[in-house]
Each structure stands twice: as C-alpha cells, then as structure tokens.
Chains A and B, each alone.
Chain A
Amino acid sequence: MEFIAVFAPLIGCLAAALFAWKDDEEGHGPAQVLTCGLMVIAAIMSGLLFYKINIAATMAPKTIVLFNWISSGTLNLNWSLKFDQLSAVMVLVVNFVSCAVHIYSVGYMHHDKRRALFQCYLSLFTFAMLMLVTSANFVQLFFGWEGVGVASYLLIGFWHHKDSANRAAIKAFVVNRIGDFGLALGIFAVFMVFGSLDFDKVFAAVPATNDVVVEFLGQQFNAITLIGFLLFVGAMGKSAQLGLHTWLPDAMEGPTPVSALIHAATMVTAGVFLVARMSPIYEYAPLAREFITVIGALTALVAATIAITQFDIKRVIAYSTMSQLGYMFFAAGVSAYSAAMFHLFTHAFFKALLFLGAGSVIHAMSDEQDMRRMGGIYKLIPFTYVVMWIGSLALAGVPPFAGFFSKDTILEANFAAHSQVGLFAYWCGITAAFLTAFYSWRLIFMTFHGTPRADEKVMAHVHESPKIMTIPLAFLAAGALGAGALAIFFVGESRGSFWGNSIFVLEQNDVLERIHHIPQWAKLLPTGVGIAGILLAFLFYVRKRHMPAMMAGMFSGIHNFFFRKWYFDELYDRIAVIPSFFLGNKLWKTGDGAIIDGFGPDGVASTVKAGSDKAHALQSGYIFHYAFAMIIGVVAIITAYVFYAHRQGF
C-alpha cells in the first residue's frame, strides 16, 4: 500500500515520458489516462493510510528501507520510506490535490501540443514531493526538496515561448537554491554535531546536545540554534518567506494547474513540513523559533498588503498563499506545530480550489488574467462563482469553513504563548486577516460583479468549464467546506493519538493546551475582522466604486509602495543580480584577460618576442657594425678594468 501511494506517480511519470518522447500526438490520450488513473489509485491508497495511521491508529508508524544510497566513511544513508503520522498527513494532501490537478489539467491543457509531457512533469513533481515527505534522513529530504524545485522549474517554464516564463522559472530555481544553500549547511552542521543524518538518531541525541557550542564562520554558536537557523533558511526559500519570496509571484507564469498544485497546496508548504518534522530540534532552539515567528508574522502582513493592490487574479492569490504560509510559520514558531500542519491541510484544499477556480475564470475569459478587464460574469459561470465563494470564505476564516478552524487556532495559540513575539505575530495576523478578507472579496467583486469590462468578443465566448475541470473543483470544494471537521484530531482533544510521536513539543511549550484560557475577545477578533474586511470590500467595490481610486490617489506613496511589492525585486536587482554580472564581466576581461594572461602566457610570449626582435636587429650582417661593437666592447672592458683597478689601489 505504501509502495503504491509513493511509486504510482513515478510509474506514471516514466510512462508519460515514453509517450511524450514520440513525435506524434497519438500517445497523449493514453498518457493522460494513465497518469490520472495512477494518481487516483495513489490518492485512495494515501486516504487509507491516513485513516489507518492517524485516525484509527491501527497501523504503527514504520520506516521501509529500500536500498543503500550513499556510504562514505561513517556516513551511511539509505533510500527509505518513513510512514508516520506526520508523513501520512502530507502524503494524503499531496496525492489528493495532485490527483485533482492531474484530472483538471486534462481539460485545461487540451489545446496544448505537449500535454503528455505536462502530465509527466506533474507526476514527476508528485513523486519528488512524496520522497520529500516520506524521507527518513536529511539527504533524501534534500533530494525531494531539490526534486520538487526542478519540477517547479520545468512547469513554470512550461510555456517556454514566453520569455517571462523562462525568466520566472530561472528565478524560482536560483532563489530556491539560495535557500537550499542554507539547508545544505544545516545538514552539514547536523552531521558534524551528531555524526549521523538519520532523523531518528539525530532526534534522539538532541536533548543531550542541548548546550554544545560549535564554530561557524569563525563565530561560536549554540549547535542546536545554529542548525535551527540554517534549516529555516531552506524553509524560507521553498515557502517564500519574506526575503526569499520574490520568486513565488513570478512563478504564476506557469499554467494555472501548476500554481494550484505546486505554488499553493504542496511544494511551498514543504518548509512548514520541514519545521514540523524538525520539531525535536526546534523545541531546543527557542531563539530560532522566535526568528521563525517574526519572519512568519512579517510575511503574513507584507504579503497581504501587496495582495490588496494587485490586479492580476493569479498574483492576488499568490500573495495570499505567501501570507497564509506566514501564518503557518508563526504557528510553528510558538511550538504549535500541529496547528501549522492543520492550516497546511485546510489551506491545501481551499487554496488549490481558489487557483483552479481562477483557472476556470481565465479559461472562460480567453486567457485574460487582469481583473480590470473582467466583471459581470457570475451568471455565465455560476459553478465557478460558487466555488470561488467557498474558497474565499474558507480563506477569510468564516465559520464553519475549513480556514476558520485552522486560522483561529493559530492566532489563539500565538496569543496564548504570552511571549512578545507571540503577541507581535497575533497582531500581525489579525491585521493580515482583515486584509485577507478584503482582497478576497475585492477579487470576487472585481471578477464576477459589476459591468463587463472585457470586449464583446471575449464576453460572447464566456462559458462554464467542462466536467473534467469542474469535478475536481467539486472535490476540493468539499474539502474546503468539511476539512474543519477534523479539527478535533489535528488540534483538539484527540491530537495526542493523531500525531503520536511524530511531533514533539516540550511540556512548557504546549500552547494548544493553553488556548482555552485566553480571553473571549481574542478568540472572536479574527472572525470579526474577517467579516469587517468583507464589508469594506463590498463598500469599495460594489457600493462606492470611486473609493479605491480615490484612496489610491490620496495615499499614492504608500499605494505605490505596496503595488510595487515593497521594491524587493528592484532591490535585489541592484544589490545582487546586476553586480554579479558586472563582476563576472570584469573578472573575465580584466582578471583573466588583462592580468593573468597579460602577465602570464601572453606577457611571457610578447616579452620573449620583443627580446628576440631586438637580438635579431643586432645581427645586421654588416662587418662595420660588428667591428664597431667590438671596439665599444674593448673600450668598455678596459675602462672598467682601469676604473676598478684604480679604486682598489693598484
């Protein structure tokens, strides 16, 4: 069962690759059927596993060793599948959303000439993601980590005729590599401190290593804190946290199903999974956790401020994703890992739903993504309209939709943490929740309501998506509606048996226990600001339509700042990209060309040549030249002799 859940996507990927290798398009149909069928099977298997391991607890967590991978000295690593409560949740999320996206893509990509390849890449991504979450050691995790990065690169750049897509793909990969750089250093530090890279061995040794100090870049650090920081740098890259987030909005250049699967539901949550998986380490690294809380809180807030100004429907959702990831991190930062995982779980459903719904809108609007050229279409695509409402209600945290349970738990946990960073995160989160509701309904009103702003040709074409696209939407909508019911397992009374030993929380850090004791207003505030945000959006975009432009005009400075995404891209261009190319050119032309070659081979060669030219000139062949030289020479010798002889007193 475990094997099918993990390897079915790999088989689908390889088979689709064979179909895609052929020049004709005959194999595309079978490739689509095959990959989708295998994903359905994998999704069912992972549902069963989830039930057995987490809910019913009839199956004990286990690690299946496949075969030896790397052995070098004391380092010994296996390919293995670790199935515990944490990975079972992830496997379920990945396979379920991936299955929906696979099927949806059959409809969404039906015009494309490389549909088989698209399915192949989707399956490849799924497999890499499964390897990531079922890893039992750091290096296989890294394999999955980079594997999903490559799949993401391939899929963002899938429409390679668009230059912007190619650029976005490269940006995504390179920015992620910066995160991976931190992750890799963290892994090296783990090996140096613990002498092993297996999760179980390392986690067991953490408590005893609590106050070990290690050297890093010439400074002394607490080993666990250092490791916590370095690993989190990796998580920041993959989960688009503030500082390493610039790739995520650009990644929207990829086809919309890709955005739903990779850049909303699964890959970008890998960082959250990493922190949850490393809970035995982070529990002993309070400083690293505080850092995570602050970064998460800032990300949630900053992303929300950007989202309210954007006009591209996908970018709004992308910034929303970034913001929600921030929530997950500041939950993990106060040791509420299970709340973070719960939000990851619910978010996967409603955010994939929103993206696929947006895809359905884009599909209906003849590939238009700018909300300024939409409007007045809710009657034409009623199904899409309804699922977008469901997704948005879940995102805004309106009860009884899924997001309400998870988001509230996170905010309450931060309040209950009674720490400065916890409160900071709480207020950032409240503000972001208000903005979230605002931009969600801004999106809905701008897209579906008002007068149609698209031209007549497009409007005549608006149509509901085919069944193959709406059925996956229905499944995801069911998740967005009902996933909240699992709250009792994820963060409620049954959480002990639900998570087993897969998440470790020190007793004094158990904030989920304390959330029952926080004041009533702190519990109600998230929902309250959510509803306020919806009402404000209604006011701005339905009642008084001149308001947004007026506000943007009144606060043009700050609006511009938000609209230009806090100038992160411009900043990075100035301080990193342009200098790198400039330096590269300088080192090449000046360093290699002028200095090394100039003094090295070319210099030597030209010196020798110049010397020989001079020597050559001496040999003129005229006897009087030689005679003259001889006389000069003799005179010189005699002079020297006389001079020295005189000096030495002869």
Chain B
Amino acid sequence: MISFPILSLLVFLPLAGVLFLLFVRGDAETVARNSRNTALLTSLFTFGLSIYMYMGFDGTSAELQFVEKLPWLPGLNINYKVGVDGISIFFVLLSTFLTPICILASWESIEHRVKEYMISFLLLETMMLGMFCAVDLMLFYIFFEGVLIPMFVIIGVWGGKRRVYSAFKFFLYTLLGSVLMLLAILYLYNTYGTTDIPELSNLAIPANVQKWLWLAFLASFAVKVPMWPVHTWLPDAHVEAPTAGSVILAGVLLKMGGYGFLRLSLPVFPDASVYYAPWIFGFSVIAVIYTSLVALAQEDMKKLIAYSSVAHMGFVTIGIFAMNQNGFDGAMFQMLSHGVVSAALFLCVGVIYDRLHTREIVPKYATIFMVFMLASVGLPGTSGFIGEFLVLLGAYQVNTTVTALAATGVVLGAAYMLYLYKRVVFGELVKSDVKAMKDVDGREIAIFLPMIGLVFWMGIYPSSFTAPMAPALGKVLERVAPARQALLEARAPAAAEKKAEEAAKTAEEQPAVTTEPEAAPAEAEPAKEPEKTEEEPKKKKGKKHK
C-alpha cells in the first residue's frame, strides 16, 4: 500500500501549479504560453497521480482508504480528514481526467487573461478533489462551497454576453442551498459534537429531526443536481460559460448533488431519505419529462444539452432513491457516463464555436459527434446505456409507474438528440463562411480519442467500474435497509401477514423463484449483496396468488 499522504498531495498538487503561475512574468505572449503549459503539465501530473492511487486502491473493501487525519480545530473536535472509498474515487478520477481536457480545450479559444484563467481552473481542480476526498463535514462544506468561487469567476469573466446575469443567477441559487446546509451542519455539530462523516453515519438521529436536516441538505444538493424546479440556472450558466467551463460544470459539478445524496443524505439521515423517496421520485420524473420536452424546443445547442443534462440527472436521483443495488449502480454509472458524454458534447459544441460559429458537414467531426450523441441517447454498447438501464431496472422493482414514466424520457431523448444532430451536422448552410470550416485537428483528436475510448470501455465492460464501487454502495444500502423495511411494514401491516402466508405457500409451489419468508436485515452478510434483503419484500408484494 501507499504510505505517503497521497490524497493531500493529490488535492493540493494543482495549487503548486497555481503558485508557480503567480510568479510568471514577461510579455503577454510568454505569460500565456507558460501558463498554458504549466497548467497542462500540472493537471496531467495530477491525473497520473490519481491513476497511481487507483492502482493501490482495494476494490473489494467498503472502507475508506488512504485516510489522513490531522487536528484542524483541535479544541472543537474538527479535523482535517480525507479518504476515498468506492464511491468517491471514481469522482476523483473523473475530475482529474476532465481537467487536462478542459485546459487543452481552452488552448486557443481563451486569448485574454490566460494566466488568470488557468489559475482559476487549477484552483477549481483542488476544490473539486478536496470535496470528493473530504471525510469531515466542515472540510466538505468548505470545499463544496469553494468550488463555486472559481466557477463563478470563470463564467463571469470569460463568459458570453449575458455572463454577469448567468453568474449571478448561478450564485443566487447555490447560495440559498448553502446557507441552509450550513445551518444543518451547525445543528449536527452542536447536538452530536462531531463533524466526522463516518461517525455521523452511525448515529441514530430521531426521525423528525432527520426530516428537517434532510431538507436543509436537499436545498443544497437539489440545486447542484439540478433537480426540477431549481434547474433554471443551468441552461443560462452553460450558454454563457466558456466551453471548458461548460465541460467541467456538466462533467463534475453536476455530480456534487448526487454525490452528496450518497455520501451524506442517505447514510446520515436514512429514515428521512426513505420518507422522502416518493417525493424525489415525483420530482425526478417531472424533471425527466419536462426538461426533455423543453429540450425539443431549443434552438441553442448549449441550452439543449443543458436541458438534456437535467433529464439525465433525473435518472440519477431516481436510481439513488430506488435504494437497491441496481439503482445505486445505475445512478453511479449514469453520473460517470454523463460526466464523460455531456462533457464531450459540450466540447463538440465548442469545436463549432471556435470555428467562427459555423456549421458544415465535416466527416471526422460528424463521426465524433455521432458517437457522443448516441452515447447520450443511451445506445447499448456505450456508457450511456448501462446507467439508464440499471437505474430503470432498479426503479422497476420499487415503482413501475415511475419507471414507465421515466422511460418515456428515453424516447424523447432520442428525439431531441437526433433532431439536434440533424440540425447541426446535416443542416443547410446559414452563413457563407461555413465552407471554410476545417475538420478537427490533431489537438482536438487528442481530446476526443480518450473520451471515445472511455465511452466504449464503460459500455462494453462496465463490470470494471461497477465491481469496485459495489462494496461502498452496499454499505450505504445496509444503512438505509432497516428504515425501508420499517416503512414497508408500516404501510401494509395486515397485508404483510397475508403475504407471509402466501409466500410460504409460494415457496412450496415454486422452487425456481426465491421467496424465502425470512427477510430480516442481514448485518453479517458480506456487503456485496445486501440488496437481497431489499428485494425480498418487494418480490413478495408482487407475487400474489389468484
């Protein structure tokens, strides 16, 4: 195993680049060139380090690894504590993977204040990594909010015409959530005297308290996801942000909400999470259908992809709150896949923007765009399919109506993406300078090739991703299992008895179908298959004899 503090090194490595950049002097061109090179090298090195860390990561364990703990505010029992498990490590990798791509994508398109731009991006990387690695709630909060600052600057300084409006809208939405989350954190700290997330995840907080605190956290996470109806900042932010800003926004920042649910809401407030799950289902289904329809009507490419992001994130929240292994795996996978695919789609848009805001059929570009378009549509064999499929498979076991409604989003998704592709790639020439548009160059192929590889890898051999995340997700499942059990029993106490009888009968008649009547939460079971306890009551519910 790795003995040196690799996580801290990883988190703060981009800051070293920032430090170096602060001292870059000379004429504008030299500064720009040096800034680009430094930022790229730093981010590549960070990516390499994260890969090295992943190689030392034990995918069979559900525990936090590479944990570092230093007293931070010693008298107050608040620590600098970082660590990664099967959930967070993939987000760490996603962040380190996308940052160099963003920097490469800004190579030519950013011409003024290059140094400041690169500093913002490296700062952003530190904040993202810190957020995903933090195991202490206070630390998490600081990074969680810290992410906003460089993002706000990137949109506000290097954005389009209405950048200030967009930046403020973005800030207003997220600020509201942050304040409430901070209050909830303070309450937790005051009442339980700790901000250590694993410790908090083992507390038995009274259910009615959970419900309030859960809502406070929701306010923050829902904005980040973004869930309907607090999503309207996203299209504006995407439209105004520079391409790389959109990439990181769609690729990583939108995952903060889903990550927050998995890391905090579910483990710390299991009862409240179960209690509110139907509401989340409702809002997610609205998000999927509503934003898919809105996406159909969009004329602006960036806005369309932004709305499609909201729809895709709707699947994530459905998967998380389905609360079974399929749903969890699907939600995680959907987040990772969306991180790559939507990022790539924004890059595809960026390629067009870079070329005089034009469009004309260019075969290589058309092919690359096609791959990501199909991945976004959820074509089997690409990453997009696995996430959607597992989410819907998991949700079906909980609620068929929700699944059927959400699945209409898949049909609509095909409609708006193909319609977009037709207009962008096959559309008629609008401007005359279009004919001058060149096909993608070497730098752009270097950006897209790894992403295409990843899309197919995730689609054809997804087990390499789902296997290491399963134990950590299993732990979360175990945590929410008793609450779900209780709810199911409370909902139909009479029916449960009847079902138990029937199940006994069923078990005699149908050896092929698993319907063991004992569905006690099995703590001792290996974390790999805790969803068994989950599915049993559901299955029985489904199997009534005439």
Contact = CB atoms under 8 A, between A and B. Distances in A.
Q: Do A and B come from one complex?
A: yes
A642 interface: no
A60 interface: no
B407 A147 contact: no
B404 A217 contact: yes
Contacts of B389: 70, 139, 184
A184 B407 contact: yes
**Residue among B393, B426, B535 with most chain A CB within 10 A:** B393
A389 interface: no
Interface in B501-546: 509-514, 529, 531-532, 535, 538-539, 541-546
Given A139-B380, A192-B542, A596 B229 contact: yes
A146 B379 contact: yes
**Residue among B229, B298, B379, B542 with most chain A CB within 10 A:** B542
A153 B418 contact: yes
Given A73-B531, A160-B426, A195-B513, A147 B169 contact: no
Interface residues on A, range: 35 or more
Interface string B161-181: 000000011001100000000
Contact of A150 (B379, B396, B411): B379
Contacts of A114: 363
B296 A584 contact: yes
A513 B163 CA distance: 75
Interface stretch (B212-220, B254-262, B345-353, B455-463): B455-463
B324 A181 contact: no
Given A174-B411, A184-B392, A580-B296, A218 B401 contact: yes
Interface string A84-124: 00000000000000000000000000000010000000000
Nearest to B297: A584
Interface stretch (A204-212, A256-264, A304-312): A204-212
A251 to B, nearest CB: 14
A178 interface: yes
Contact of A177 (B385, B396, B414, B529): B414
Contacts of B294: 584, 587-588, 591-592
Given A185-B403, A214-B542, A581-B296, A74 B411 contact: no
Interface in B287-344: 290, 293-298, 324-326, 329-330
A587 B293 CA distance: 8
B410 A591 contact: no
A160 B361 contact: yes
A252 to B, nearest CB: 18
B390 A188 contact: no
Contacts of A163: 426
A70 B463 contact: yes
B514 to A, nearest CB: 6
Contact of A192 (B290, B396, B418, B509): B396
Interface string A202-229: 0011001101111111101001000000
A626 interface: no
Interface residues on B, range: 35 or more
Given A147-B381, A217-B400, A177 B513 contact: no
A139 B378 CA distance: 13
B466 interface: yes
A79 B460 CA distance: 9
Contact of B510 (A79, A139, A208): A208
Nearest to A153: B418
B400 A600 contact: no
A591 B396 CA distance: 29
B118 to A, nearest CB: 30
Contacts of A205: 510, 512-513
A72 interface: yes
A604 interface: yes
Contacts of A142: 380
A561 interface: no
A605 interface: yes
B386 interface: yes
A295 B229 CA distance: 42
A521 interface: no
A568 to B, nearest CB: 18
Contacts of B396: 185, 188-189, 191-192
A21 interface: yes
B415 interface: yes
A21 B364 contact: yes
B374 interface: yes
B422 interface: yes
B72 interface: no
B169 A601 contact: yes
Contacts of A327: none
Contacts of A181: 407-408, 410-411
A143 interface: yes
A67 interface: yes
A205 B425 CA distance: 48
A501 interface: no
B405 to A, nearest CB: 9
Contacts of B91: none
Given A177-B414, A208-B511, A72 B407 contact: no
Nearest to B228: A596
Given A74-B535, A170-B415, A178-B411, A215 B542 contact: yes
B444 to A, nearest CB: 14
Contacts of B361: 160
A159 to B, nearest CB: 10
Nearest to B426: A160
A208 B386 contact: no
B467 interface: yes
Given A73-B324, A218-B401, A601 B415 contact: no
A181 B405 CA distance: 10
A143 B381 contact: yes
Contacts of A173: 414, 418
B232 to A, nearest CB: 5
A213 B544 contact: yes
A599 to B, nearest CB: 10
Given A597-B232, A601-B169, A585 B297 contact: yes
A241 interface: no
A391 to B, nearest CB: 33
B419 interface: yes
A72 B390 contact: yes
A166 B361 CA distance: 14
Contacts of A184: 389, 392, 407, 410
Contacts of A566: none
A214 B396 CA distance: 12
Contacts of A592: 232, 235, 294
Interface string A27-60: 0000000000000000000000000000000000
B66 interface: no
B291 to A, nearest CB: 8
A217 B467 contact: no
Nearest to A211: B546
A641 interface: no
A150 B374 contact: yes
A212 B422 CA distance: 46
Contacts of A217: 400-401, 404
A145 B389 CA distance: 14
21 contacts: A21-B364, A70-B389, A74-B532, A160-B426, A163-B426, A174-B414, A174-B415, A180-B410, A181-B408, A184-B389, A184-B407, A184-B410, A191-B396, A192-B396, A192-B542, A208-B512, A214-B542, A214-B543, A215-B400, A584-B296, A601-B169
Interface of A: 21, 67-75, 79, 114, 139, 142-143, 145-147, 150, 153, 157, 160-161, 163, 166-167, 169-170, 173-174, 177-178, 180-181, 184-185, 187-189, 191-195, 204-205, 208-209, 211-218, 220, 223, 580-581, 583-585, 587-588, 591-592, 596-597, 600-601, 604-605
Given A70-B466, A211-B545, A216-B400, 14 more contacts: A68-B463, A74-B532, A114-B363, A157-B426, A177-B410, A181-B408, A189-B396, A208-B511, A220-B544, A584-B293, A584-B297, A591-B290, A597-B232, A605-B172
